[in-house]
Structure 1
Amino acid sequence: MKKILLLLVIILSSCEKNITNIYEYEEPLGTGLYMYGTTYEGGANGLGTIYRVDQNGQNIQKLFDFTTTTGGNPTAGLTLAGNGKLYGFTNSDGQIVNAGAVFATGSFYEFDPLTNDLQVIQYFDDLSPTGYLHNISPLLHTNGLLYSTSEITGMGDDGKIWSYDINTSTISILDTLDANIYGPNKSKLMEASDAHIYFTTASGSKNGYGAIIRFNTATDSLEVVYASPGGFPNSNQFEGASNNTLFEASDGYLYGASKLGGANNKGNLFKIDKNGNNYQNLWSFEWIVAIEGWDPQGGFIEKNGFLYSATAQHNQQDANSGAFYKVELATGNLTFTNFLDFEGYRPIGTFIESSNGRFYITCSGGTITDGSIVEYNPLNGNITQRHDFNIGNNGVNPLRNSLCLVDLGAL
């Protein structure tokens, strides 16, 4: 019982959450605590990898090479479930499984961190009832189910929301993301304190600029919480949310950012209550400003009264490497804390806090051409590159990827 309780604590606090592998490794520093992630490309087959680093973001070990059989090019990272297994998606190759389908579109898989074995749960093709293009890792809900959305189906709509029961190995299609009502989802799902699931859409809804959507877990149906009237020239509104995960802070508000919108159409930061009321614009991102970042992509982490996140760009487009920022909950004030240079380029994931109290995020490329893992110390603002994916054959380009913390000793 102690082991089960400890595992549940680790799952809730660390992660939003049979093809035999041959890689050998040693336990670094005598601990079983690791951060797991995926790369979009590289590895033995050029289709990406599963890897892990220690609790300090170092000592990388490649654990699995994706293949044309398993599916490749994962873009979402991993989620730790209550059975101690990791779950994720690939978005290319795999197998055609539906009659009349033309091309394979990846897979939904389970990875065992104790044995490093991977099992494909479901292959996707262009006629999959669940839809295809899964650019987000699944959400582990407190009810024990994994939830995900697809971006596209071959049925004339823009994806599905569906769940997976790890105890019965059952996939259940729950609702349809019709473009005219909801729009395609490109951002990770989040569970709020009311047990419902919230996310932003990139477009669709009545205005065509995207919306905040609630999946009501009591009725298994989608609801529009807030339909954005668009960013520019509606200067305080979000638009085109892509890889922009909502976050419920300790003040009870949902906080979000968008890739577009705001006064300069370079994205904005906002907060809103769970019923779609009291929308407040906190910041409009702007480009060609040397001391500011823009193009926010990723979610938030909260610590000591502040929210922390990142932008993929700063100053001029594709000339600089991105920025870290924090938001004071008491005032809503935003402060840019760091501007990336040789540490990494284009951070487009979400920070994870390790056992050492420091934050870690993956960068997708740039001057560090194949990506990197960057450490951020919220106590003094120091940033340090902990791994350069250009080194070795461990995979490259950890795209849209957030690390997942796993304590192997508790499994």
Structure 2
Amino acid sequence: MAVVSRYLSSGVMLTLSLSPLIVWIMGSSAQQQKPASRLLDPHQLLPQQTTTQKAGKLRVRSGVLFKTLVNFDGRNGAEPYFGVIQGTDGNLYGTTRVGGSNNLGTVYRMTPRGYLLTLLSFNGTNGSLPGGALVQNATGLLYGTTSFGGNNNQGTIFRLGPQGGRFKTLVNFDVGADPFGGLLLAKDGNFYGTTTGGGGTNGAGTGAGTVYKLTPQGTLTTLHTFTTANPERGLSPTARLLQGKDGNFYGTTRLGGTSNQGTVFKITPAGMLTTLVRFQGTNGKNPYGGLVQGKDGNFYGTTGTGGTADKGTIFRLTPTGKITTLVNFTGSNGQAPAGALVQGKDGYFYGTTSGGGLNGGGTVFVVTATRAFATLVDFDGTNGSNPLYGALFQASDGNLYGTTAGGGKYGKGTVFRLTVDVETALPSK
């Protein structure tokens, strides 16, 4: 059995068995709240650990202005897996997976010009390794999740003021483990989310993720448990939920379904789940990102692998469950998209791939509902590489903001801004 070991920038040792593919993560002394040894899905690793990135130049398509706003250095955070949101004060807020004073992740605030302030460094007791983008309620409080840490080291839900005070742990998970996808603030005022693991064990099978509801007062209710006893309904959701125009919630699971290649599901606020799609490989597999509902009422999303080249797809899904592949990634135009799409004010869909492109470091792309596609940015490492699970965010200034988990001046990730003249960047619509 061939084994390779190396250290990630977050200070943990990565060990890979190449045949069969098994991945172990060994925690450093600075990560006491992270399991000392944990079997991990390879796709949750930074893609630059498993794909080759060529030395090259940042390529930006005509009609696109690109600017790196923040280079993370470890002290102010590292490896921003997820994207940013814009607060009611006009500033941008986000998290880093690791880094900060305890190397367990941070919450940060930044101006649209790139001035960054660390609001919180996680210490394990209050959570570690934040998962999912933040969400802000009407009073300005920020809500988020951590994958580990807390009383049971199975993750937390927390709240934090926009100035860094008023921190409170609302939930210490003990049944659902690893709330990786973050929270959705629904129309009823409650928060909804998923855990990628956990859910308990019963006579029929082992839990493999949950869907839950959280009231503003902190009461958590499990709405659905994905279980190995019924894998066709899906296993291991990793993405944020979407509330559709019909009031129901829509999401993805990266595993399960007929061929264990992932699903798309609908769940009512009362917890009744319907599986809409079971991926077959040719139409995509392993969706890591969530969905966006377009202005046309259809849902749009990505799969991390599968399609004609097995490098991922972009798909459209009708509310009744009819799926159409819009784009098959080939590597040269990107591969392994891991985040959700965002529909811009211009009506087009924007997203990222975690790998592929000109330099192998990932891309930013635009696509229309009629399949017109263009790569807007090919990352080169110096200006960032490997955008992961975070969707792009269109701020009030009309620009798109995003993060890369690697690359940048210190190799620990970036925040970037894109200004797009879509008439020039996407001439064939």
Same fold (TM over 0.5): yes
Between the aligned partners of 1:235 and 1:123, the Cα distance in structure 2 is 37
Q: 1:372 deviation in Å?
A: 0.2
Cα offsets for 1:118-143 (capped at 9, x unmatched): 11111123xx3321111322112334
* Structure 1 residues 78 and 295: CA distance shift in structure 2, 3 A: same
Deviations 1:70-106 (A, max 9, x none): 121111111111111111112333213xxxxxxx223
Residue identity matched to 1:95: S
1:209 is matched with which residue? 208
1:148/1:163 contact within 8 Å kept: yes
Matching of residue 109 in structure 1 with residue 108 in structure 2: yes
| RMSD, aligned α-carbons | 2.6
Within 5 A, what are the aligned runs for 1:299-338? 299-303=290-294, 304-315=296-307, 320-329=310-319, 331-338=320-327
Q: Which runs of 5+ in 1 are unaligned?
A: 1-38, 42-50, 97-103
User: Superposition pairs for residues 287-302 of structure 1, below 5 Å?
Assistant: 287=281, 289=282, 292-302=283-293
Figure out how many residues of one structure are paired with residues of the other and give that number: 337
Please give the alpha-carbon distance, in whole angstroms, between the structure 2 residues aligned to 1:359 and 1:228. 30
Q: CA deviation at 1:371?
A: 0.4
Q: Is the 8 A contact 1:183 1:201 kept in 2?
A: yes
CA distance in 2, matches of 1:238, 1:399: 22
Q: In the alignment, is the contact (CA less than 8 A) between 2:333 and 2:356 conserved in 1?
A: no
Change (3 A) 1:57 1:270: farther
Matches within 5 A, 1:77-92: 77-92=83-98
Output the TM-score relative to the length of structure 1.
Answer: 0.76
Could you tell me which residue of structure 2 aligns to residue 183 of structure 1? Answer: 177
Does structure 1 residue 340 correspond to structure 2 residue 334?
no
Is residue 131 from structure 1 mapped to residue 137 from structure 2 by the alignment?
A: no
In 2, Cα distance between equivalents of 1:198 and 1:212: 7
Alignment pair present for 1:265 and 2:256: no
CA gap 1:255/1:57 in 2 versus in 1, 3 angstroms: farther
1:100 corresponding residue in structure 2: none
Q: Do the aligned partners of 1:105 and 1:133 also contact (CA within 8 Å) in 2?
A: yes
**Residues 337 and 315 of structure 1: is their aligned pair in 2 closer, same or farther, counting only changes over 3 Å?**
closer
Give 1:320 shift.
Answer: 2.9
Cα distance in 1 for partners of 2:142, 2:182 equals 12
Q: Decide whether the 8 Å contact of 1:346 with 1:365 is kept in 2.
A: yes
User: Is the Cα–Cα contact under 8 Å of residues 151 and 184 in structure 1 kept in the other structure?
Assistant: yes
Equivalent-residue separation in structure 2 for 1:320 and 1:333 (angstroms): 21
Aligned counterpart, 2:224: 226
Equivalent residue number for residue 3 of structure 2 = none
Instruction: Give, in whole Å, the separation in 1 of the partners of 2:256 and 2:139.
Output: 35
Aligned counterpart, 2:368: 377
Matched, 1:236 2:205: no
Q: Residues 83, 295 of structure 1: CA spacing in aligned structure 2 closer, same or farther, 3 A cutoff?
A: same
> Which residues of structure 2 form unaligned runs of 5+?
1-45, 49-57, 201-205, 400-429
Which of the residues 345, 365, 373 maps onto 1:355?
345
Tell me the secondary structure at the aligned position of residue 170 of structure 2.
strand
How far residue 57 of structure 1 moved from its aligned partner, in angstroms, is: 8.1
Instruction: Report the 3-state secondary structure (helix = DSSP H, G, I; strand = E; otherwise coil) of the residue aligned with 1:59.
Output: strand
TM-superposed CA distance for 1:407, in Å, is 2.8
Quickly say closer, same or farther: Cα 1:139–1:309, change in 2 above 3 A.
same
Distance (whole Å) between structure 1 residues aligned to residue 75 and residue 117 of structure 2? 11
Q: Identity of paired residues, percent?
A: 27
- Superposition TM-score, scaled by structure 2 size: 0.73
Distance (Å, rounded) in 2 between the aligned partners of 1:143 and 1:66: 29
